[in-house]
Structure 1
Amino acid sequence: MINFRYHVVSLAAVFLALAIGLVVGTAAANGPLTENLNDQVNTLTDDKQQLRNDLEQTRAELKKNADFATETAPMLLANRLLNKNVLLIKLDGNDSGDVNTATDGVATVLGTAGAKVVGTVTIKEKFTAPTNSPHLLDLAETAVPAGISGALPGQSDGADTSAALLAAVLVGKAGTPQVEGTRTVLSAYESAGYIGLDGDFKAPAEAVVIVAGAPASGKDAKDRNAAVLTLATRFDLAGRVVVAGLSANGLVSAVRGDTTAAKSISTVDNAVTAYGQVAAVMALVERFGGKSGHYGSGDGATSLLPKTASVTNGS
């Protein structure tokens, strides 16, 4: 008869065998598993290093491209905009840092081309908010100089009316004096927080470069983006306009997608780069020659750069 001690010894032997089996099995499998894991780690390490090398190479190539654009700009653009007065407009937003950098780059290339930047106007996000339309309309009607009051659109869109007023006092023909009351108009909009100003604005601009970032977002994005396009078209009615975008999104896309605006407003979709900034100024030279186009590498661009166009001081 099998007694209780026998059962205990048997169970202990079974558990001991299981334990020995686990140890032996783990030891047997441990070698291949370890080797496999080591191989995977080494592969990932190699891939990471390759990606790092590729990134460094890309950065170096971009730096060379930027250097090339900067070094060739004088040969392409020297005196092509000699004594031309140009206004810079930049659109404020979440990417204002990149917009500021692109604006500074465009200003430098304009100087290389012999142009004079009469000033820079920053369009604040407050300007395009649909809720501010009534106040913008009141401000335009209050601030408008007597000499151009009849030039404002007769409708109730505050952003449109204000854009028309700003274009009327900031843009004009070569050699004409500053519109009387320009400083008063600009101060009124600046004090109300709709625009920022940098420059003397002592002479009207013959052309405008608008530096734009990403499109507006949020529940009122459609209205805000429409207001920005309206701003561009109002300045286009007053003079020559080039939209220099950080990408093909936002205002660049809106202009390219508008049949009327696309015919007269030139666009560049890579103004965050040195070669995009050169392209923007080349496009402005082309606008003085009576032509327009869309440049860069994004949707709607016809080529990377515009063909060089001659311009004389009297054009």
Structure 2
Amino acid sequence: MFDLRYHVASLAAVFVALLLGIFVGVGLSGKGFVSDAERENLQAQIDALRSERDSAAAQAAGADRRGVELDDFAKTTYPQLVSGMLEGKNVGVVFIGSVDQGLANTVRRSVDDAGGRVALVRALRVPLDAEAVDAALRAEPETRGLAGIDNRERLGRELARELITAGPNPVFDRLARVIVEEQSGAAGRALDAVVVARQAPPQEGETQELLAGLYSGLAAAPVPTVGVAKSNAKTTAIPVFHQRGLATVDGVDEVASQLALVFLLAGARAGSYGVGNDATDGIIPDPPPAPPVASKG
């Protein structure tokens, strides 16, 4: 719906510019510089532009109405649709950069509504302090092999593995003071799904390589991982998440997108969903398959 609005605005600007041209042309015609045929051609262009502008405006108004209707439908049906979908599931939330409390609350509320719980929140500090990272890794034989500029993507994949698995987390333990800006929840708990949000601007160099490994590692994990962004974000990581194989939800601050988030965390087919411009697969995925009912006796 936003593209239509921009289209109408651009048409209006062109229309004004063309009118100014006509006025100039009319002035020149009085001096014999513009023929009757040229004036008729310019008038035909104005009439065509008016028609295109009015058509686009009507489409934009219709899209707005459909958007309102979708919001109303989502708000009405959301509680029933998500109820129990994440029952007993532990969900982790990873921020690249500082925690966005509004976004964190939105994710937590969506998970709670579906019967799950946000068991872990980590905010990773970027850009990477390469020297501090390597010094920490080389301090222990168990993590020494991950040090060095050539191992950044591999390090990111290892961080992804430790995020979702229970048991020892030697890499995170060594790097906690270096790369973790903020955290809550007990580490070492197996996660059933992960949400990723990038609050920091796009990164370069070694930090970019580490994040590429992190995203790819999460995408390859045996649990659903969803990259999210708010609709009013200054920069969005949705295309990067999608490129690295993550399911995504754009405009997660909208109710329809929150429904998409719950569906994806519950195992719906991965894709790019939501209400934002980067939601290339639609607003909401098909619901995930219902879990099998245990037989009695």
TM-score (norm 2): 0.62
Matched, 1:197 2:183: yes
1:171 to 159, 164, 172: 164
Query: Which residue type is aligned with residue 159 of structure 2?
Result: L
Matched, 1:241 2:201: no
Which runs of 5 or more structure 2 residues have no equivalent in the other structure?
1-63
Query: Which residue type is aligned with residue 293 of structure 1?
Result: G
Note the C-alpha offset of 1:303: 0.2
Note the C-alpha offset of 1:108: 1.0
Map 1:99-114; keep pairs closer than 5 Å.
99-114=100-115
Which runs of 5 or more structure 1 residues have no equivalent in the other structure?
1-57, 173-177
Note the C-alpha offset of 1:89: 0.7
The one-character-per-residue Cα deviations of 1:72-115 (angstroms, maximum 9, x if unpaired) are 3321111112112211111225xx5xx32112111111111112
Change (3 A) 1:162 1:200: same
* CA–CA separation in structure 2 for the residues paired with 1:283 and 1:74: 16
* CA–CA separation in structure 1 for the residues paired with 2:164 and 2:292: 17
Aligned residue number for residue 125 of structure 2 = 124
Contact 2:83/2:113 (<8 A) preserved: yes
Aligned residue number for residue 136 of structure 1 = 133
Aligned residue number for residue 160 of structure 1 = 153
How many residues align structurally?
224
* CA–CA separation in structure 1 for the residues paired with 2:272 and 2:79: 22
* CA–CA separation in structure 1 for the residues paired with 2:217 and 2:167: 17
Aligned residue number for residue 310 of structure 1 = 289
* CA–CA separation in structure 1 for the residues paired with 2:230 and 2:174: 30
Note the C-alpha offset of 1:122: 0.7
* CA–CA separation in structure 2 for the residues paired with 1:206 and 1:301: 26
Change (3 A) 1:214 1:300: farther
Query: Which residue type is aligned with residue 197 of structure 2?
Result: V
Note the C-alpha offset of 1:189: 2.8
Query: Which residue type is aligned with residue 104 of structure 2?
Result: T
Contact 1:81/1:311 (<8 A) preserved: no
Contact 2:91/2:192 (<8 A) preserved: yes
Contact 1:190/1:197 (<8 A) preserved: no
Change (3 A) 1:311 1:166: farther
* CA–CA separation in structure 2 for the residues paired with 1:224 and 1:202: 24
Structure with higher RCO (Cα < 8 A, 6+ apart)? 1
Change (3 A) 1:311 1:90: farther
Change (3 A) 1:139 1:191: same
The one-character-per-residue Cα deviations of 1:196-226 (angstroms, maximum 9, x if unpaired) are 211123521122111234633xxx6466455
CA RMSD of aligned residues (A): 3.5
The one-character-per-residue Cα deviations of 1:156-210 (angstroms, maximum 9, x if unpaired) are 44543442332222213xxxxx313x3x654543323534211123521122111
1:76 to 76, 81, 98: 81
Query: Which residue type is aligned with residue 179 of structure 1?
Result: G
